[in-house]
Structure 1
Amino acid sequence: MANTKKNKTRIAAVGDIHVRETDSGKWKDFFTQVSEKADVLLLCGDLTDTGRVSEAEVLVEELRACSIPVVGVLGNHDYERENHKSIRKTLVKANVHMLDGDSVVLGEVGFAGVKGFGGGFDKGMLGMFGEQMIKDFVQEAVDESLKLDGALARLDSDYTDIKKIAVLHYSPIRATVEGEPEQIFPFLGSSRLAEPLNRRGVVAAFHGHAHIGTLEGETTKGVKIFNVSKPILIKEGYEPPFYILEV
């Protein structure tokens, strides 16, 4: 009888690394250790500290120490100076799988990613009503959710029996931003991002952004959500600060 046992994939994840121009040499040991412990590395946004292309170039040099595939999304810090397209291009040239409504399959796992956006959670979710600025804000969250759904749908149509992982920067649920001031919850994520996760049978999703949030939570349909912001991982005792999930 043929052996149908599937291999496990070790996924390492971290967000909010905020690489600076002065960080040359700082991250090489980190990426070396990740490569020894995992099969894939996820970078969940805020890859640069102030959105400078020069910071992304430092990250690229540090990533030379990483010998496993890297999948990433951008975060709000990467958009700070409107250099996000150049930052993305810099990382793509270094063979980082940068996702923005895209997907990539590595082994038996499909990764779909978007930055995401704010808007609030559950009954506190902002509605598309009132001034055009409010409508535009809500529309951005809707658009990000649709991009994520499209990326997951393409994985479903192109592959059978694949395990799906979502990579985000903003949170799709309230539980993993708990600990932050409640007044800023609308700027930390949106429940709209949880809808495609539930609909498409995602195994787990990783995000960052909320530095004082909570490591683990789940959607209403039981999809595991992990806030892997570097400050949270450090607080939880992860050293080096990356989280590993085996799927």
Structure 2
Amino acid sequence: MDDQRKNVTIAAVADLHVTEDGAKSYKDLFAEISSVADVLVIAGDLTDLGRPKEAELLASDLRHCTVPTVAVLGNHDHESGQVDDVCKILTDVGVKLLNGQAAEIAGVGFVGVKGFVGGFGRHMLGSFGETAIKAMVAESVEESMLLENAMRQVRSDRSLVVLHYAPIAETVAGEPLEIYPFLGSSRLAETIDRFRVNAVVHGHAHRGSYEGRTPGGAPVYNVASHVEKPTGKPYALLEL
């Protein structure tokens, strides 16, 4: 059957936070996902402190995953300043790490960026005042531009956007209002709504809500492992 017409089941999860002590293994989870999904998506915070040892433990567990794996990095993966090492360890076991790129698997275009902070709607942070504030806004805009460039690479008629930070406030509901500006940015949603997108997944907001929509109507799912999902599992299952 043509990949462009076949339904594709995607298992999506985020915020695994693998630690150096190996306190939690994901071997069984990845084996389970391989039996129910065609693709695994991990939406950031694969590691807890961005250390190579953590990435090595995750890579070992991912050897029990027999379906293609797509991922983006999260803020925790940047903590130790060893992003290049973490990326190499994960790509060496076949993980497709996206940072402003698109990859087609089974007829679905996967588009990924980390995203960044900035707030939502009329409360979104503007580029005004101190240099530090302008630098934050510039970073947020840069991530949105990376996403736009990646979306322009998609040739499939189906696409999934993979983020770490949230593009809408609806899926961070449940978190303290005071930290909303640090959980994501509406700039991401503005970019998404310029394209035809089947679904968006993100993590980061551990106490957020599972489902929402961009202003343009694209379905958005918070797949942080801590968030309750219809599957009753740490991962969501999406049909595209």
Change (3 A) 1:50 1:198: same
In 2, the alpha carbon distance for the partners of 1:167 and 1:63 equals 19
Q: CA deviation at 1:54?
A: 0.4
Q: Bigger shift: 4-13 or 129-138?
A: 4-13
Change (3 A) 1:23 1:3: closer
In 2, the alpha carbon distance for the partners of 1:149 and 1:165 equals 13
In 2, the alpha carbon distance for the partners of 1:184 and 1:39 equals 35
Counterpart in the other structure of 2:224: 229
Q: How many residues align?
A: 240
* TM-score of the aligned structures, taking structure 1 as reference length: 0.93
Q: CA deviation at 1:25?
A: 7.3
Change (3 A) 1:125 1:3: closer
Correspondence list, 1:181-192, <5 A: 181-192=176-187
Change (3 A) 1:3 1:209: closer
Q: CA deviation at 1:3?
A: 9.1
1:243 aligns with 2:236: yes
What are the Cα deviations for residues 176-230 of structure 1, in whole angstroms up to 9, with x where unaligned? 0011001100100000001221101111110000000000000011100000000
1:214 aligns with 2:216: no
SS at match of 1:42: strand
Q: Give the helix-richer structure, 1 or 2.
A: 1
What are the Cα deviations for residues 98-137 of structure 1, in whole angstroms up to 9, with x where unaligned? 0000110001100010000000000100001111100000
Structure 2: 5+ residue stretches without partners:
none
Q: CA deviation at 1:164?
A: 1.0
Q: CA deviation at 1:81?
A: 0.7
Counterpart in the other structure of 1:45: 44
Correspondence list, 1:29-108, <5 A: 29-108=28-107
Question: Is the CA contact (8 Å cut-off) linking 2:27 and 2:61 kept in structure 1?
Answer: yes
In 2, the alpha carbon distance for the partners of 1:58 and 1:26 equals 8
Counterpart in the other structure of 2:157: 162
Structure 1: 5+ residue stretches without partners:
none
Instruction: Output the aligned Cα RMSD.
Output: 1.7
Change (3 A) 1:4 1:106: closer
